[in-house]
Amino acid sequence: MRAQRVWKVNGDASIGHLQSRLDDLNKRLGQLESQHPSSWKLEELKASALSLSREIDDIRCAEATAALSELLRK
């Protein structure tokens, strides 16, 4: 059985922080792509951006699941 990440849902603050980090990373990616299109750093930054976007998606899914569970309990 594969380990599954469990998120403690703490709302928009966490997503906002991650989104801010992702925005900064995307800006750096854009700058690096224009200056050094074949840089090895691009792949590292892209991997980091994908990881952050997955974290954001996981948190949003956890929040939606919690909200749906609450609605179904009523």
Query: What's the predicted TM-score (pTM) here?
Result: 0.69
- Tell me what the pLDDT averaged over the chain comes to: 83
pLDDT score of 5: 45
The tokens describing 22, both together, are: 């992702």
Q: In angstroms, rounded to a whole number, what is the distance separating the alpha carbons of residues 31 and 24?
A: 11
Q: In angstroms, rounded to a whole number, what is the distance separating the alpha carbons of residues 30 and 23?
A: 11
Looking at residue 30, its amino acid is G
Q: What is the pLDDT of residues 20-41, one digit of tens each?
A: 999 999 999 999 888 887 778 8
**What is the arithmetic mean of pLDDT over 5-28?**
77
Q: In angstroms, rounded to a whole number, what is the distance separating the alpha carbons of residues 48 and 39?
A: 15
Higher pLDDT, 8 or 64: 64
Residues in CB range of 65: below 8 A, 6 or more apart: none
